[in-house]
Each structure stands twice: as structure tokens, then as C-alpha cells.
Amino acid sequence: MSAMSVSLLLALLLAASCARAADEVSHFALLNGIKVHYESYGSGNEALVFIHGWTCDLTFWRGQEPVYQAHRSLLIDLPGHGRSDKPKIAYPSELFARAVEAVMNDAQVNRATLIGHSLGGNIAYTFVRLFPQRVQSVVFVDSYVTRPPPASAAPATLARYRQRARNLSGPAGERNFIRQVNAMFSDRTPAELREEIRTKMLATPEHVRVAAVTSISRLPPSSSPEAFDMPVLAVAARVSGDAVRAVMRPIFPNLQIEKWDKYGHFLMMEDPERFNRTLEHFLAEQP
């Protein structure tokens, strides 16, 4: 056999081995007939659950491989994203939160540390509201959450969402979307990472891109101000640390804040080693 044939054979065997490894961690859960793709690492009934942001997918957490290989972990493609089904439906935060629940059930995970980037942080908060007994702790990654507005604010919210849908639809909407994505970068974001992020986010269908940030939540506001007594970390870059402290601490009294100056929105990708150290330190502090 020639040297070229041996090299080709080795390359094919390596590709087949990688494909088998990917199949071993790749799974699908069902939510009302929607297939929700996720990756599962390790074993046990408690896990880290990584929740990506708006129009992203689970590959945005690849820099956290040292963490999710060392702990029982689930990485989720939210409905409409990545390898999950993408039906033309509404995508309110509770749909995404129930998808997280479906994945945890499928993976036989009872309790989780939720790690949510951007919109993923809002989804984590919705999950806490729905299933507080299943949450051990939360990490908000450049994410800012507020208590649900009162029912009286619904008309204003609906009007704002309609305008947002117009701004994100059609050719002009795609240009507006790209401008929003570009504004998320910092001087620390390499050109190749910017291109990777833009390409992956643009791959999310327009109907999902729009619905994910314009679908009205049907969850009612609580009758009294909610507070959740669990360990919470907010790693803030573009989000104001003062705003996080003022608005989020009444919801999460045990909130810790770590401010990363001069970083962009995708800080876990810009500096994965620093982010992983921060995450591991937070996990080590938990009882």
C-alpha cells in the first residue's frame, strides 16, 4: 500500500472515530413533538446545563470543553437552533425553559447549575420560576434579567415587539441583525471569531430569529415579589454591573457579580481560560 493510501486510510479511520464519538454524546429529547438536540457528558443526576443565547447554538460553548468534560454536563441546542427542530411557532421564554426541562428529563438529571449566556440567562430565570426545586445555582453570562412586568404593561410590550419584528424581518432586517451582532464584539474579538459568530447566528432561520425576541410570555407575574435563595453568579461585560446589582439582587439575594471590562458580549469565547477558571471557582464554592 502506498504512503498516500495509508494516509487516506488513517484520515478515514480518524473521521469515523470522531463521528462515533459525536454520536455517543449527541441525543434528542422531545417537547410536544419538537426534537431538541443536546450533548451529554459524564454521568449522574446533577449536571451543569449550558444554555446558549439568541440565534446561537451549543457550539458557542466549545471553549468550555475542559469544564464540561470534567463535570456531568448537558449542552443544549434550543428549539429553532442548531440541530433541533425549527417549526414556525411562537418562541416565548417558557418554551425554551420547558425544552431545558425535557432535556434534563431525557438525560435523567434531577438538579442543575444553569449557565445561560445572553438570552440564555433569561431562559434560565424562567426555568427557575417554573422549576425552582430543580435548580442548584445559576450563572448569568453577560445577561440581565428583570422581574416580569405587570399585566397592565402588556399593550406596550406588544407594540414594542411588533416594531422589533419589523426591524428584524426581510433584507433590511438581516442588515439590522448583522449590525446588532457586530456591536457585540470588542477589540478582543479576533476577526476569525467574529466571522464564525456571524455565520452561525445568520444560519438560524429568520422566523426563529424574530420569534425568539418577540413572542409574548404567557407566564403570569407572581402575586408577590419573588426571591430565590440559591448561589448565583453574574459575569458582566457589556451589561452594566451597577444595573445588574440594582435589578437582579432583589431577585437573587446571593448574587455575586464579576465585571469584565473591555470584553465583548461573547466573553466566554474571547477568553475561555479566564471564564473556565471563574466558573470552576464558583462551582467549588458551592456546598
Instruction: List per-residue pLDDT tens for the chain, 287 residues long.
Output: 555 554 554 444 344 344 444 568 999 999 999 999 999 999 999 999 999 999 999 999 999 999 999 999 999 999 999 999 999 999 999 999 999 999 999 999 999 999 999 999 999 999 999 999 999 999 999 998 998 887 777 889 889 999 999 999 999 999 999 999 999 999 999 999 999 999 999 999 999 999 999 999 988 877 678 899 999 999 999 877 788 888 999 999 999 999 999 999 999 999 999 999 999 999 999 87
Residue type, 225: P
Nearest to 51, CA basis, from 108, 12, 101: 101
Cell, residue 84: 433541533
CA distance 203 to 209: 10
Residue ranges of domains in the chain: 15-285
Which residue stretches of the chain are H helix? 3-25, 65-70, 93-106, 119-130, 154-168, 170-182, 191-202, 206-211, 241-248, 267-270, 272-285
- Prediction pTM value: 0.91
At 74 the three-state DSSP class reads: strand
CA distance 267 to 257: 15
Cell, residue 204: 438560524
Residue type, 91: Y
Which one of 3.50.50.60, 3.30.70.141, 3.40.50.1820, 1.10.3720.10 gives the CATH number of domain 15-285?
Answer: 3.40.50.1820
Residue type, 147: R
